Chains A and B, each alone.
Chain A
Amino acid sequence: MDIPEGYRFSEEHEWAREEEDGSITIGISWHAQDLLGDIVYVELPDEGDSIESGEEFGVLESVKAASDLYAPISGEVLVVNQELEDAPQTINESPFDEGWMIRVRADDLQEFNDLMDADEYRAFVERG
């Protein structure tokens, strides 16, 4: 599985990426979108909302099932990817890039550092 540099992962298959300005972008991994199948609808928080590490912050609806999104870190939502409203399939097509979901200001960057790195995530996925 190709995983870009600098991505960290939660056990719920969300990824987090630190930006130049210190904000954190969040999305779901290639593995997650593959399991879900075609995503047809995304429910995301609004700008200004708070997300809590480990808590549900949104929902993905695929043809097969609804899946809760769990926050990998706590913080305040700065930007929401509006493209996903009309083109939710972008998550399937480009989960690590154009399929990004939200960008947050992290309450505690230590939470980001505590996430799995690419090698740990790969091993986690392979364990099943």
Chain B
Amino acid sequence: MSDASNHAEIKSIPLEQRHIDLGARMTPFAGYLMPLQYAGIKEEHLAVRSGVGLFDVSHMGEFEIVGADAIEVIDGLVTNDASKLVDGQAMYAALCNEEGGIIDDVLVYRLAEDHIFVCVNASRRDVDFAHMSAHARGKAEIRDTSDTYALLAIQGPKALDLIKVLAPEDAEALEALRYYRARRAVVAGVDMLVSRTGYTGEDGFELYIPVAQAETVFDATLIAGEAFDLALCGLGCRDTLRLEARFNLYGQDMNETTNPFEAGLGWTVKLNKTTPFVGQDALKAIKARGLTRKLCGFVLQEKGMIRPGYEIYIGEENVGEVTSGSWAPTLEESIGLGYIGLDFVDAPLVDIQIRKKRVPARLTSQPFYKRD
């Protein structure tokens, strides 16, 4: 295993022993030992689509910006417009470098006028914090509070039913909580931040739990979850679910060499917002120049499996490379994402080089799966 040979320290999430005791197959990811799967990727995936699943994503990072100018500070760092947020509202945004390359994709919450909460990718936590600290303009303090939280995601059409059982006093409020909104609630007797967000394409809630209460909340969720056939879910199905919903994965579908426009995040870029932000000038220039490539979606037209790194062809011309690929259990097809040269993005079909064969795939600009 690569981490062992690099002598890199593998960190533990708060609930690591629980997962091991419950029979999870564990894997190192972003420096943490994480549950990869429990019953099996396909079974877990389908359970989230039709019922409810529980994900431990405590490896993710959390930053908090506290101070009178917190909104201005975050606005100077991310592409989207935080000045438009109301209390309890979240927005998806890109954190860019000076060249307009994506350092991370983040979820920014306005908890109060002087309190911004940011959820960042585990693999980018240190890079994000260093970048934000170096580029922040203003007085508000940026704190990395990741180690104070455990993060559990309850996802699926039955997620609301389950959380109402766990949070009876706040049941009505949570039912009324809109998508991309957050509020404090008492879940399993523990006061915490709850947001109606997720990475699966289903309805669901993400619970930011004070780390000392992680076991209490986890155990209570499992017990209450029995009535709903709650599925314990790992990173394996997290990836197949997000790909079906066509959510990008940082490090695969975007990185510091990709800009938000070509990565499909152009809608998060508010070039005319009041506060100038890092990368704004570069992004303005990129927009004026036009794109050279775009992240496209494709569906394999024959049996097989699309994987990252496979070359994409039209005729004999190599027009791009796969960045994400997998089996879509809901659709029973193989799907993927990849950058394709702009001249070719309107082609109906491309060929994916799968080992020795070229297999046709249909291009699509739509999510592969959308919930009703």
A residues lining the B interface (CB < 8 Å): 37-38, 40-41, 59, 61, 63-64, 66, 85, 89
Beta-carbon contact of A63 and B327 below 8 Å: yes
Q: Which 3 A-B pairs have the closest CB atoms?
A: A61-B305, A38-B42, A40-B327
- B236-248 vs A, CB cutoff 8 Å, 1 = contact: the mask equals 1000100000000
B307: A residues at CB distance < 8 A:
66
Looking at the assembled complex, report how far the CB atom of A23 sits from the nearest CB atom of chain B, in whole angstroms: 27
CA distance in complex: A40, B326 (Å): 10
Describe A's contact surface by its main secondary structure. mixed
Looking at the assembled complex, report how far the CB atom of B359 sits from the nearest CB atom of chain A, in whole angstroms: 11
Looking at the assembled complex, report how far the CB atom of A124 sits from the nearest CB atom of chain B, in whole angstroms: 21
Interface centre among A63, A66, A85, A89 (most CB of B within 10 A): A63
If A37-B236, A40-B327, A59-B355 touch, whether A64 touches B305 (CB-CB below 8 Å) is no
B43: A residues at CB distance < 8 A:
38
Beta-carbon contact of A41 and B303 below 8 Å: yes
List 16 interface pairs A-B (beta carbons < 8 Å), by A numbering.
A37-B40, A37-B236, A38-B42, A38-B329, A40-B305, A40-B334, A41-B303, A41-B304, A41-B305, A41-B334, A61-B327, A64-B41, A64-B236, A66-B305, A66-B307, A89-B42
User: Is B37 engaged at the interface, CB distance under 8 Å to the other chain?
Assistant: yes
A59: B residues at CB distance < 8 A:
355
Looking at the assembled complex, report how far the CB atom of A8 sits from the nearest CB atom of chain B, in whole angstroms: 28
If A37-B236, A41-B303 touch, whether A63 touches B41 (CB-CB below 8 Å) is yes
Closest to B42 in A: A38
- B26-70 vs A, CB cutoff 8 Å, 1 = contact: the mask equals 000000000001001111000000000000000000000000000
CA distance in complex: A64, B42 (Å): 11
Beta-carbon contact of B41 and A38 below 8 Å: yes
CA distance in complex: A40, B236 (Å): 14
Beta-carbon contact of B37 and A37 below 8 Å: yes
CA distance in complex: A89, B264 (Å): 34
Looking at the assembled complex, report how far the CB atom of A68 sits from the nearest CB atom of chain B, in whole angstroms: 10
Closest to B37 in A: A37
Query: Which parts of B315-360 form the interface with A (CB within 8 Å)?
Result: 326-327, 329, 334, 355
B240: A residues at CB distance < 8 A:
63
Beta-carbon contact of A61 and B304 below 8 Å: yes
Closest to B306 in A: A61
Looking at the assembled complex, report how far the CB atom of B36 sits from the nearest CB atom of chain A, in whole angstroms: 8
B303: A residues at CB distance < 8 A:
41, 85
B334: A residues at CB distance < 8 A:
40-41
Looking at the assembled complex, report how far the CB atom of A56 sits from the nearest CB atom of chain B, in whole angstroms: 10
Interface centre among A40, A59, A64 (most CB of B within 10 A): A40
Partner of A63, one of B42, B304, B355: B42
